[in-house]
Amino acid sequence: MIEIPIGTEMVHYAEQKLEKLSLNKGLALSKFGSEYDRILIGYIGESVLMHYLKIEEDQNTFNYDLRYKNKKIEVKTISCKFKPKRTYLATVNSHKVDGVHQQDADYYVFVRILNDKSKAWVLGCCTCDEFFEKGEFVAKGKDFGKFKFVKANATVLPISELRPINQIR
């Protein structure tokens, strides 16, 4: 797990990218099925990873976010209150009602952003195929005690089972 301080230029990049979507602040839904603040966190995660891996340009596609070492990378980012534990789950949500939707990417890279946007953690990566082979399918509505998957089906894998991002080949 790599801790990265979030600079103002990373947040500014994400805000500019979000402005291009023409969303209304608040509860407005986008074609991506998420709220304004969640999309902003996702774009900050992309920006953090671009900064860390020295990637100069995002890809702006639905199926993947970045290209690195000729691989298509889909960045999965969520916010958090504190540094994530290795027992926490890396999650890929699915918009399919009856199963999972795997994006056309080579790798998922998982990032957590502290709620105040001061720090990020690059948790690791996994090939998309391996993530769905090893991960647990979670149907929408399943209760994990402290949280519940209410918006979509998901596939989850403990952070401890991710690989370091230097293993992207």
Its domain, for residue 24, covers 2-167
pLDDT value, residue 116: 94
pLDDT value, residue 22: 59
Which H or E run contains 20? none
pLDDT value, residue 97: 62
The total of structural domains in the chain comes to 1
pLDDT value, residue 152: 77
pLDDT value, residue 100: 66
Please list the pLDDT of the chain residue by residue as tens digits (169 residues). 999 999 999 999 999 888 877 555 544 544 444 577 888 999 999 999 999 999 988 887 878 999 999 999 999 999 999 999 999 999 988 766 666 667 789 999 999 999 999 999 999 999 999 999 999 888 887 777 767 777 778 888 999 999 999 989 8
Residues contacting residue 158 through CB under 8 Å, at least 6 positions apart: 86, 87, 88, 89, 90
DSSP string, 31-97: TTS--HHHHHHHHHHHHHHHHHHT-------SS-SEEETTEEEEEEEEEESSPPPTTSEEEEEE--T
